[in-house]
Amino acid sequence: MGFNATLIGEMIAFAIMITLTVKFVWPPLVSAIEERQRKIAEGLEAADRARTELAAANTRADDEMKRARAEAASIIERATQQAAQIVDKARTDALLEAAKQKAVAQADIENMAHRARAELRGQVATLAVAGAAKILGREVNAETHKALLEELVAGI
């Protein structure tokens, strides 16, 4: 078969090759690959995390928007109610005031009419006495006919 010392030489060469590969070739390459795998895994995880965070932020923003919108709507509602109340109150106030004014005016008028009537009544008595005196040609004693005159005045 042709075996000779070459066999031993090749065994030594092989042993040296293995040693060098184990020491200087395999570790740096494997560590580089593993490091990269770790980096990629971390990157993917970070991307995943960012995606879920973004989704959470979106829902939060949506919630916030909804709440703000609801609040705005309630504020407008309240404002509308308040405005209506103010208008109502102003109207009732105005009506009350008007009624009061009217009552005061009416009372005044009535007072004045009363006074005028009273005055007129007083004067009617005098006029009636004067008229009667003229008609009878003599003086009517007011004192004597006082009861008659008062009856006359009350009849007006």
Partner 1 sequence: MSAEAGGESFTAYIQHHLTYWNAPLTHAGGMASLHVDTLVMSVLLGGLVLFWFWWFARRATSGVPGKGQALVELALEFVDGQVKDAWHGSRTFLGPLALTIFFWVLFMNLMDVLPVDLIPAAAEAGGATHFRPVPTADVNMTFGLSLTVLLLTIFFGLKAKGFRYFRDVVSAPFTANNIFMQVLLAPFNILMFVIEMITQPVSLALRLFGNIFAGDLLFMLVAGLMAHWLSLWYPLGVLGYAVWSIFELLIILIQAFIFMYLSITYIAMAQEHH
3-state percent helix, strand, coil for the chain, nearest multiple of 5: 90, 0, 10
The stretch near partner 1 (CB under 8 A) out of 16-24, 55-63, 115-123, 140-148 is 16-24
Is 156:124 a contact under the CB 8 Å cutoff? yes
The stretch near partner 1 (CB under 8 A) out of 19-27, 50-58, 94-102, 142-150 is 19-27
Residues 33-52 that bind partner 1 (CB under 8 A): 33, 35-36, 39
Is residue 29 near partner 1 by the rule CB under 8 A? yes
Is 140:133 a contact under the CB 8 Å cutoff? yes
Q: What CA–CA distance (Å, rounded) separates 35 from 31?
A: 6
Task: Return residues touching partner 1 (CB under 8 A).
Answer: 1-11, 13-15, 17-18, 20-22, 24-33, 35-36, 39
